[in-house]
Amino acid sequence: MNISRTAVHRPVATTMVFLIVIVLGIMGFYYLPIDLLPQIEYPRLAIRTHYPNVGPEEIEKIITDRVENAIASVPNIEKIRSSSEEGRSTVSIEFAQGTNIDEASNDVRAALDRIRDDFPPEVESPRLWKFDPDNFPVVILGAKSAMGMERLTRILEREISHRFEQLPGVGSVDVWGGVYREIQVRLKRDRLASSRLSATDVQQALTRENITLPGGDMREGLSDMYVRTRGEYQSLDEIASTIITIVDGKAIRIRDVAEVIDGYQDINRLVQIDGQPMVRMGIRKQSGTNTVAVAYEARKVMAKINEERDDLELLMVIDQSEFIQNSINNVQKSAIWGGMLAIFILYVFLRNGSTTFIIAVSIPISIIATFGLLYFNDLTLNQMSFGGLALGIGLIVDNAIVVLENIVRLRENGRDLTESALVGTSQVTGAIIASTLTTCVIFLPVVFMHTISGMLFQELALVVVFALACSLLIATSLVPMLSSRFLTIGKKAKSDSGKKEAHTGTWFHKVENSYSRLLAGAVHHRRIVFAVTGILLVITFFLWPLIPVELAPQTDADEIEVELEMAQGTNIAIVNEYLFALERIVKEATPMDQVKHVTIEMHPGDAQVELSLKNANERTIDSFIIADNIRKSIEGKIPGAELRVQAQSGLWMLRRLFGSGGGEAIQMELRGYDLDIADQIAHEIIAIMQKVPEIKDTRVSRREGRPEQNLIIDREKIADLGLSVSDVARVIQTNIGGTQAGVYREGGEEFPIVVRLQPKDRLSTLDLENVSIRTDAGRILPVSSVVHTLRRRSPTDIQRLDGQRVTYITANLQSGAALVDVVDKVRQELRNFPLPAGFSIFYSGEYEEQQKAQQDFLLSIFMAIILIYMVMAAQFE
């Protein structure tokens, strides 16, 4: 069946077909998810295992080693990264691209089941989850109120968060930076000693007396009645009245040796937004859902809550959809302006309204049809797909122009409209099919790239192919049909003189004549043309390595983060003092009219100042320039703290995917077992790297360890006393860190009951002589009689890669610097650096991915050239 003939002879049917295509395309566009990047399945799994109150070295030995050895036999694993820190082991597994992640999950889960019994009983069951970049919050809200932080936190967790969780597309809602209620039993050390009691006695009494147990079923007449023994505490007074023991007929109660306080958990995270204490809420979307739609619905709910309630106020702090929407709008505008410019240029050259109209109709229909293909192929609207459309607009008009120009030529030569449309289309159909195929095969090899960067470009390639396929269909059906009905060009004079008269004096004729002379000269001087072409080709090969190369361009993401780091474990009150000085300097260095919100977040040992900037199109200063000004202003101003400034790039997620989890441009792996030597080498390398002017924000991943006092238990002594290691450890934990002794229920909520020394006893230097333990025989002994102490600094964490300990060295680049060039300079600076035996340096992260991508793209270019030759050979036989 000849599609052109059918289209021309059945114009109504052709019109209806394309109207159906338009309707489907518009509906597809409406339902297409909108995101920053294409949806890619990342074949990664993570295993997290908790072992409370155990140091990093013990975590590495007891948990991480066993987990890594167990999963080593799982097929298709490329890398195993792990982090052992206090109380937690995290093992991340990277599989080869194309691995079925569900099957891999089953294999990993089976491997973990085989070693579950090898762990100590206190170790929690390992949890396995899939890596998903959609798991980062798309919206972060701040909440403030005059009611008090504890009550605000409860309202957010019990009421407000549920409003957002009910929205379509929302995966979860997290609340952090709040204050949490805790029932505190504050022990008085002197009272315990005089009563000859230990902290364990108090804890056991609370656990024993705060219980509800089922009694079973009891028959009463013809029915059964369920019996329940309710012994849970109903008030704080009941807790204080709990009897610990009876001595000489006198009951010793909790209130005799402790004070029961309705208080709050220790604050380890403080949040301020625009100078006011607030609680933050992060809204995460479900995988594959529309980021922009989720954020839009969240904004509507936020506005409704603010309208309904006068006891709290919600504030939008970060909205990832704004950057996504702005980025896509920019590409959309470029595509629209490109299409309009193409139509204008066509009119200038064709100088006919009907021909321009036909081309102008074909462009939007091709694009709308492409949206339909995107929808039916489960793709998304993102920067890559819109980039493909912008690229495709310049290509999709080519087929229509070739067909229309040939139809016009035949019409000018005297044929009628229908014959011109049919013959003109058939004459060039083979040529435009070959032309379209040669363009498509250029992008075809990209589909077979298996690096993350390659998969990102797959969507761009598919969109271009879809657009070209649609343009080919339109050029061979809709264009001839419209030409047979609406073309207004008539027959042209046949004489050469008439033709000359029609064009004499026009600028187009001058251009045409100039091109004809140039073409004739090139044909008559073939050797010169070949020589010049060869010279230009050689020059190109020499200039190619000089072009700066980067994998992901820096884009303004409207956010700047200033990090403050101090010694691990530094009290949050001390951190607050340093942060106050830092905030003042940052605000002085920042044009505040460019800023929407300033968010401060504090933890023991570190803090962040986050500047949420106005949208890039509303600002007069680039975020990278603001960040550079801040960096210069804070340099050397906060002694005793490490400072880093980073303007977030719109594609920061890619760097997290490529590397060890951070968003830095340069990531180096220093592999070697001894952590102390590794830290020393890392800081020496940083000193050398800082000689490279394009480098900034250098950092060693492992911070200085926190001071630690290890209590070594004498196993023989405690065995003679009838005690266990667990008995001694729990007594020490209760006296210093506190131990949970059940929960207190009120109003449908649970609050932990924590037994701990009162602050004045707790905050003094640990005196083991005053910490007592009761033996099985009833003797009260100081803990110091069964332990000896060892003071040291423990590592904050131990990171490994494929079973080998690794220290990460990271840095950012000055604006405009190319990653490959900077890495080459760093290599040059480190070429004579003496590494001890057993240590090695590898460049990873974005640089490693860039090298893989470069190999893939070179292979794709080679394959594209071969495929183009094959298509041309088939065309010309």
Q: What is the pLDDT of residues 128-148, one digit of tens each?
A: 888 766 667 888 898 888 888
Residue 218: phi and psi, rounded to 5, are -130, 130
Residue 212: CATH number of its domain: 3.30.2090.10
The pair of three-digit structure tokens given for residue 461, joined into one six-digit string: 């390639």
Instruction: Quick: pLDDT tens for 169-200.
Output: 888 888 888 888 889 899 888 888 788 887 88
Same domain, 154 and 123: no
Residues 406 and 347 in one domain: no
| In a domain? residue 801 | no
Residue 496 Cα distances to 67, 106, 506, 757, angstroms: 86, 79, 16, 108
Asked whether 107 and 43 are in contact (CB, 8 A), the reply is no
The answer to whether residue 457 sits within a structural domain is yes
The whole-number average pLDDT for the span 327-332 is 74
What is each CA distance from 150 to 176, 182, 307, 611, in whole angstroms? 12, 10, 22, 26
pLDDT exceeds cutoff 60 at 116: yes
Same domain assignment for residues 720 and 577: no
Q: Is the confidence at residue 765, as pLDDT, over 90? A: no
Question: How much is the average pLDDT of 722-726?
Answer: 80
The pLDDT assigned to 545 comes to 72
Q: CB–CB of 653/383 below 8 Å? A: no
Per the structure block, which two tokens stand in for 577? Answer: 């003092």
Q: Are residues 345 and 223 in the same domain?
A: no
Mean pLDDT of all residues in 110-127: 87
326 and 434, same domain (yes or no): no
Output the pLDDT for position 550: 66
Residue 624 predicted with pLDDT over 60 = yes
Note whether 290 and 216 are same-domain residues. Answer: no
- The pLDDT of 627-645, averaged and rounded, is 84
Do residues 155 and 119 both lie within one domain?
no
Pick from 554-558, 817-821, 825-829, 868-872: least confident: 554-558
**CATH classification of the domain holding 67:** 3.30.70.1430
Once rounded to an integer, what is the mean pLDDT over residues 606-619?
Answer: 83
Lowest mean pLDDT among 34-43, 65-74, 202-211: 34-43
Highest mean pLDDT among 52-61, 462-471, 712-721: 462-471
Instruction: Please state, in angstroms and rounded to a whole number, the distance separating the CA atoms of residues 873 and 865.
Output: 12
Instruction: Identify any residues that bridge with 13 across adjacent strands, giving them in sequence order.
Output: none
* pLDDT (average), residues 834-853: 83
Tell which of 328, 351, 374 closes a domain.
351
Question: 472 is written with which tokens?
Answer: 């080919």
pLDDT for residue 18: 92
Q: How confident is the model at residue 226 (pLDDT cuts 50, 70, 90)?
A: confident
Structural domain contains residue 825: no
| Choice among 76-80, 82-86, 846-850 with the minimum mean pLDDT | 846-850
pLDDT at 503 over 70: no
| Mean of pLDDT values over 838-863 | 82
User: 345 and 356: one domain?
Assistant: no
The CATH code of the domain that includes 17 is 1.20.1640.10
Is residue 719 domain-resident?
yes
Q: Which domain holds residue 364?
A: 1-25+352-492
Strands (E) across 528-625 are located at 556-565, 595-603, 606-613
Is the Cβ–Cβ distance between 669 and 649 less than 8 Å?
no
pLDDT number for residue 549 = 67
Do residues 167 and 297 share a domain? Answer: yes
User: Who's near 733: CB < 8 A, 6+ residues apart?
Assistant: 53, 739
Q: Which of 50-54, 92-96, 261-265, 469-473 has the lowest mean pLDDT?
A: 50-54
Distance separating alpha carbons of residues 867 and 445, to the nearest angstrom: 9
For residue 481, the model assigns a pLDDT of 92
Identify whether the C-beta of residue 678 lies closer than 8 Å to the C-beta of residue 807.
yes
Q: Looking at the structure, do residues 638 and 714 belong to the same domain, yes or no? A: no
pLDDT, position 20: 94
In the chain, the N- to C-terminal Cα span, in Å, equals 24
Domain boundary among the residues 351, 373, 391 is at: 351
- The bridge status of strand 595-603 relative to strand 270-273 is antiparallel
Asked if residue 608 is part of any domain, the answer here is yes
Pairing type for strands 279-285 and 170-176 reads antiparallel
Q: What pLDDT digit, counting tens, does each position of 287-305 carry?
A: 777 888 888 899 999 999 9
Q: What is the mean pLDDT of residues 473-486?
A: 89
Tell me the residue type at 3: I
Tell me the range of 383-392, 560-569, 832-841 where mean pLDDT is highest.
Answer: 832-841
The answer on 631 and 565 residing in a single domain is yes
User: Is the per-residue pLDDT at 499 higher than 50?
Assistant: no
Question: E strands along 735-796, which residues?
Answer: 739-746, 749-757, 772-774, 780-782, 787-794
Least confident of 467-476, 497-506, 674-683: 497-506
Q: State percent of the chain over pLDDT 90.
A: 9
pLDDT of residue 55 exceeding 60, the answer is yes
Q: Identify the residue with better confidence: 212 or 463.
A: 463
Give the residue, 738 or 541, on which the prediction is more confident.
541
Per-residue model confidence (pLDDT) at position 505: 46
Residue 208, helix vs strand vs coil: helix
Residue 733: is its pLDDT beyond 80?
no
Q: What is the predicted pLDDT for the residue at 229?
A: 72
Q: What pLDDT score was predicted for residue 358?
A: 87
**Residues 6 or more apart from 318 whose CB is under 8 A from it?**
137, 139, 140, 559, 612
> 376-390, 414-428, 752-766, 812-826: which has the highest mean pLDDT?
414-428
Mean pLDDT of 812-826: 81
Asked whether residue 548 carries a pLDDT value surpassing 90, the answer given is no
Whether residue 551 lies inside any domain: the answer is no
CA–CA gap between residue 316 and residue 138 (Å, rounded): 11
Q: How many domains does the chain have?
A: 6
What are the tokens at 713? Answer: 């238990």
Distance CA 335, CA 329 (A): 10
Q: Are residues 583 and 638 in the same domain?
A: yes
Instruction: Please choose, from the candidates 825, 31, 729, 826, the residue with its C-alpha nearest in 3D space to the C-alpha of residue 374.
Output: 31
| Residue range 372-389: mean pLDDT, rounded | 84
For residue 656, what pLDDT is reported? 57
Whether 673 is in a domain gets the answer no
Residue closest to 193 by CA, chosen among 788, 784, 782: 782
Residue 496 has pLDDT above 50, yes or no: no
Q: Which residues, 6 or more positions from 721, have their beta carbon under 8 angstroms from its beta carbon? A: 775, 776, 777, 779, 781, 786
Q: pTM value?
A: 0.73
| Residue 183 and residue 745 in contact, taking contact as beta carbons nearer than 8 Å | no
Quote the pLDDT of residue 504: 41
Residue 855 inside a domain? The answer is: no
pLDDT computed for residue 16 by the predictor? 94
Of 196, 192, 198, give the one whose Cα is nearest residue 727.
Answer: 198
- What's the mean pLDDT in 310-336? 81
